[in-house]
Structure 1
């Protein structure tokens, strides 16, 4: 028996809210990549996504967090109690990002964790807006002020930030250290914020040319498609993953 997988657009314009318990997902800015001019020039920017804990904004969550102590596991769990930003877009998108956050009632100082899926400028160009947040950029995790903590992330060892909230190692596009954020328990099922593991829906004929390790990225893409109900790609609209009924083999 084998099951086919297809994708279809998730309708709606940013900000696109997918409610969940205990985390909701808001696609703040939709990434794009458009040919421009000659010499294969491209104008591009990466998607920006907000993960909001359901409890954020309550009296208890607004209390000052205790100083980070212990190892990376504890620090990540503490950082995930507040708003989490996945990628920040390029520096040219600064005002759009600030406006999109404000539209959700989130100030830069409210963000407690920023995850950069990989180190390209169109995905981490606004880290300087969040000096008070913990940063997980690719596989580098540091607390405010630059205290770096080892964490052991690997393809077989995701980082658990909270109930149904994980960071996966999804190598390929930018090399061996790309990551994705996986949010289970939303109204649409499991949402994977995949960075450039997927450029966009229907990128099957183009992603390999942009990949530093196509073999690893093919593995990452399959893993995401096996798990996700919705994928937020790096440079296009979010899309659903639809699994067809298994068909008998002759």
Structure 2
């Protein structure tokens, strides 16, 4: 039950992250810059290390987790090319923000749903860590609760970025907030195989990296190519480095 109570803290932090994203208003370019930094930090300092630790077996000389990482990146790239989101040069990124087609909105919903899935895995991580011992559980709980602020922030931002209305964004934010509690509760019944968890984390890391570098960063810099936006991205990466460092 301790794991479920800790997951409730993750629930609150996720909502706080989404509320901050919602309240930024005309500072949208700064929000996107920060979101990209947080996502890059999550991929580099959290998802990939966890994926490699859980699925280190190699296939033709490459860890399976990294193969899934590449697969995640390529899958979202193929999807975006198929729906012709990109127009061929950065000057047109701003235009696609204002003319969202249903398929483009679906990309945002899919990405947000993947973040919800990641938050379920966060709950699994909390539950499994407390099964391993109180000290391990506390360390993992600190990391998860801290970076669930970024999860809530990113869930709301990504959903809105692709033209979905506020109601959808808030609905997915609520789902993301409830996800860690769900994941932690499920671990009271059984645990997910470590190998499968590692493969999922690798795939999701690639998915998230593509969104951060191919969509969110260009979108952040197209209307306001400023040093402040770049600084927000650097701060997002540094924040995730600090969070993971404190928890390790």
Whether these two folds match at TM > 0.5 is no
Q: What TM-score do you get using the length of structure 2 for normalisation? A: 0.30
* TM-score computed with the length of structure 1 as normaliser: 0.30
